[in-house]
């Protein structure tokens, strides 16, 4: 559950700014990502095929783009920081006739008891979480010992030239889209105390990766 210590660790100003950005984008978010989604769909499907266990948490459910790939026999709880995104997710769940628990929540301070889930999943989320290591520690806390944390993310290229370009444009991209393009997410996963099991390069010179990690 959320503790005073957790709350004190959160950068409230950065979190509020992230919430405001995605609230503003929520009305046309699906349209904005329409062209890229044809590439993302197979990756989303691959991500969700790795899920084990019946108690599943999706962090950053957004507008519900992953819902078509949710395991049929799982009890899925989805959270999002932004009311606008969550309303669209609820509509999509209704259209797909899915039974799910969808609620507001902050990845940096999850309102769940320790070991509440078998698996936690996030797709293109930790590029936007203000303190990604804090958020990943929370995922580690709420999955059971030995439980999975599965991530589909874009991150900083290992290519020195492309990486430098991503560093240079990151402030502009964050202001426009809310997402950081130069996060070192694999390193952040390790820094959170999760054990990285596999990292699969999905395309564009290793910018897109599927990360499977496990709580100790």
* Local confidence pLDDT in tens for the 216 residues of the chain: 555 455 567 889 999 999 999 998 888 888 777 778 889 999 999 999 999 999 999 999 999 999 999 999 999 999 999 999 999 999 999 999 998 999 999 999 999 999 999 999 999 999 999 999 999 999 999 999 999 999 999 999 999 999 999 999 999 999 888 899 999 999 999 999 999 999 999 988 889 999 999 998
Burial zone of 93 (CB within 10 Å; 0-12 exposed, 13-18 middle, 19+ buried): buried
Burial zone of 198 (CB within 10 Å; 0-12 exposed, 13-18 middle, 19+ buried): exposed
For 213, the enclosing helix (H) or strand (E) is: strand 208-214
Q: What is the four-CA torsion angle of 80, 81, 87, 90, rounded to 10 degrees?
A: 10
Give CA–CA dist 94/88, Å, rounded: 10
pTM score, two decimals?
0.92
User: HSE of 45 in the Cβ direction (CA atoms, 13 Å)?
Assistant: 7
Give CA–CA dist 164/166, Å, rounded: 5
Give CA–CA dist 216/159, Å, rounded: 32
Give CA–CA dist 106/214, Å, rounded: 21
Question: CA torsion sign, 81 to 40 to 190 to 206?
Answer: negative
- The counts of H helices and E strands in the chain are 8, 7
pLDDT of residue 178: 85
pLDDT of residue 206: 86
Domains of the chain (ranges, CATH numbers): 4-214 (3.40.50.150)
């Amino acid at each position: 559950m959320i503790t005073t210590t957790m709350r004190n660790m959160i950068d409230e100003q950065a979190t509020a700014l992230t919430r405001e950005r995605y609230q503003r984008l929520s009305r046309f978010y699906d349209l904005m990502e329409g062209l890229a989604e044809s590439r993302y769909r197979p990756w989303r499907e691959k991500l969700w095929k790795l899920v084990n266990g019946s108690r599943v948490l999706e962090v950053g459910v957004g507008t519900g783009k992953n819902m078509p790939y949710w395991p049929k026999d799982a009890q899925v709880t989805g959270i999002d920081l932004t009311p606008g995104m969550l309303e669209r997710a609820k509509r999509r769940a209704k259209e797909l006739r899915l039974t799910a628990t969808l609620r507001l929540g902050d990845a940096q301070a999850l309102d769940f008891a320790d070991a509440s889930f078998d698996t936690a999943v996030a797709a293109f989320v930790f590029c936007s979480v203000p303190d990604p290591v804090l958020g990943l520690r929370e995922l580690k806390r709420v999955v059971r010992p030995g439980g999975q944390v599965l991530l589909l993310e874009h991150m900083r290229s290992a290519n020195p030239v492309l990486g430098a370009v991503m560093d240079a444009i990151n402030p502009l991209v964050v202001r426009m889209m809310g997402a950081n393009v130069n996060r070192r997410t694999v390193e952040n996963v390790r820094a959170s105390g999760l054990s990285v099991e596999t990292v699969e390069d999905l395309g564009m010179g290793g910018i897109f990766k599927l990360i499977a990690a496990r709580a100790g």
